[in-house]
């Protein structure tokens, strides 16, 4: 594997050589053309992205054969509890939705049972497939002849 410091110095030397070559080539140009070239170089330097800096993690040899981080991982008890809070809220919300749906279903069944017990119906009505739909429509639209 090559040494990064050596690669950087080689690149610096190559960049300096290229700069010298460009300077030699621009010496014989006119003033107007060299000024336009200088402005173009300045614009190119301004628009180039900032160099990416690599983050280096500090490692320490704690026990023989184990490398650990710098210790500033930010995972203390409070952060763990706070990060679990959205999960707890989600579970509580799901439990609440299930309880509300259960209550609505029980109230629908109770209203249908009360309608069956209070109405005079022939026995064939209980076996009719549209009877449940009829009861639901009757519960939504109360009869006007009361």
**Residues 108-133: tens digit of each pLDDT:** 889 888 877 887 777 777 777 787 77
- Residue 86's pLDDT is 94
Average pLDDT, rounded, for the chain: 76
Question: With the C-alpha atoms ordered 70, 65, 54, 83, is the resulting torsion angle positive or negative?
Answer: negative
Asked if residues 67 and 60 have their Cβ atoms less than 8 Å apart, the reply is yes
* Model pLDDT for residues 34-79, shown as the tens digit of each residue: 788 888 878 887 887 766 554 444 444 445 555 555 555 566 888 8
Q: How confident is the model at residue 105 (pLDDT cuts 50, 70, 90)?
A: very high
Q: What contacts 70, CB < 8 A, 6 or more positions away?
A: 57, 58, 59, 60
Q: Is the pLDDT of residue 26 over 50?
A: yes
* Domain boundaries along the sequence of the chain: 1-48, 77-140
Nearest to 93 by CA among 101, 82, 103: 101
Q: Is the pLDDT of residue 1 over 70?
A: no
């Amino acid at each position: 594997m090559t040494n990064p410091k050596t690669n950087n110095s080689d690149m610096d030397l190559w960049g300096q050589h290229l700069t010298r070559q460009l300077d030699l080539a621009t010496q014989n140009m006119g003033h107007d053309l060299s000024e336009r070239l200088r402005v173009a170089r300045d614009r190119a330097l301004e628009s180039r992205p900032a160099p990416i800096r690599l983050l280096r993690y500090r490692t320490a040899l704690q026990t023989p054969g184990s490398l650990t981080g710098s210790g500033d991982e930010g995972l203390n008890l409070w952060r763990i509890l706070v990060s679990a809070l959205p999960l707890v809220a989600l579970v509580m919300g799901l439990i609440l939705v299930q309880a509300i749906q259960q209550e609505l279903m029980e109230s629908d069944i109770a209203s249908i049972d009360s309608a069956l017990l209070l109405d005079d119906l022939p026995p064939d009505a209980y076996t009719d497939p549209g009877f449940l739909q009829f009861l639901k429509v009757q519960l939504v639209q109360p009869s006007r002849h009361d």
